[in-house]
């Protein structure tokens, strides 16, 4: 599904470059459908995994779609703003209106994600013992700073507040909101994967000297991989701005 998503996005991009806008819309629609299918399927991989109680649940495919859409809005505002600032250009009116529309959609999606997270926590405490242990460690244990500060404050509350304060017109405030959200999204993804695995499968057997809560610390190779991936994205973005001038509305 992700392969189809990439193919349709590539076709759409090529059609935009040669000004075949009608066909580009068709390719974009097919990309949207395959993207939704891919993200929901990925959520189902987590949500249908009964062996990991923290992930298990029917809401995960929907959460993944909402989270992906919110991340997309974050990226649009962040990279569009950055593209104009790198070239030291003023925003034209069509682009300002487009970013305002994206900002409104983003605010709605942030509200949806806050709703999801709230009920994920509430229903989690009514789940099995393994899920309760994971959520307690997430909220009150060693991962509490990740949750309350990075996920909730930087990833959800602060961007939502800045969007409301900006009234979707102050692009500087919207850019700051997207920057904070990017940091929060990173910790959301890390915590989603890590918290689902910290409760030992054998805790219920009361094995002596076997830890109930496992620990995780990123290795040097993992840190290098993340830094390299971020550097590749920045390099690709700069090359794209230089070659294609992708943020100019009159080209599209």
pTM for the full predicted model: 0.87
pLDDT band at 83 (very low <50, low <70, confident <90, very high): confident
**pLDDT tens digit string along 160-175?**
999 999 999 899 999 9
Rounded CA gap, 9 and 11, in Å? 5
Q: Please give the Cα distance from 72 to 25 (Å, whole number).
A: 18
Distance in angstroms (rounded) separating the CA atoms of residues 72 and 86: 21
Start-to-end Cα distance in the chain: 27
Q: Pick the closest to residue 180 from 95, 101, 77 (CA basis).
A: 77
Reported as a single tens digit per residue, the pLDDT across 101-112 is 999 999 999 999
Cα 91 to Cα 55, 94, 109, 178: the distances in Å are 42, 8, 25, 17
Nearest alpha carbon to residue 52 among 237, 244, 213, 199? 199
Which range (54-58, 153-157, 246-250) has the least confidence? 246-250
The answer to whether residue 65 scores a pLDDT higher than 90 is yes
Give residue 206's pLDDT.
67
């Amino acid at each position: 599904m992700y392969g189809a998503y990439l193919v349709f996005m590539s076709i759409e991009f090529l059609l935009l470059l040669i000004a075949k806008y009608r066909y580009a819309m068709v390719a974009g629609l097919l990309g949207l459908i395959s993207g939704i299918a891919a993200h929901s399927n990925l959520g189902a991989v987590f949500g249908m995994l009964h062996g990991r109680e923290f992930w298990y649940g029917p809401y995960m495919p929907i959460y993944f779609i909402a989270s992906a859409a919110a991340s997309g809005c974050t990226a649009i505002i962040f990279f569009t703003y950055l593209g104009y600032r790198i070239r030291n250009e003023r925003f034209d009116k069509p682009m300002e209106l487009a970013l305002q529309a994206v900002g409104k959609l983003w605010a709605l999606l942030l509200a949806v994600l806050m709703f999801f997270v709230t009920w994920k926590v509430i229903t989690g405490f009514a789940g099995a013992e393994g899920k309760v242990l994971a959520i307690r460690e997430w909220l009150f244990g060693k991962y509490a700073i990740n949750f309350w500060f990075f996920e909730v404050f930087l990833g959800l509350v602060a961007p939502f507040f800045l969007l409301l304060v900006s009234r979707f017109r102050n692009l500087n405030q919207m850019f700051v909101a997207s920057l904070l959200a990017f940091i929060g999204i990173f910790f959301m993804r890390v915590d989603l994967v890590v918290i689902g695995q910290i409760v030992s499968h054998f805790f219920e057997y009361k094995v002596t000297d076997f830890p109930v809560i496992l620990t995780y610390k990123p290795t040097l190779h993992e840190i290098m991989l993340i830094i390299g991936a971020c550097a590749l994205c920045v390099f690709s973005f700069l090359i794209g701005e230089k070659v294609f001038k992708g943020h100019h509305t009159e080209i599209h």
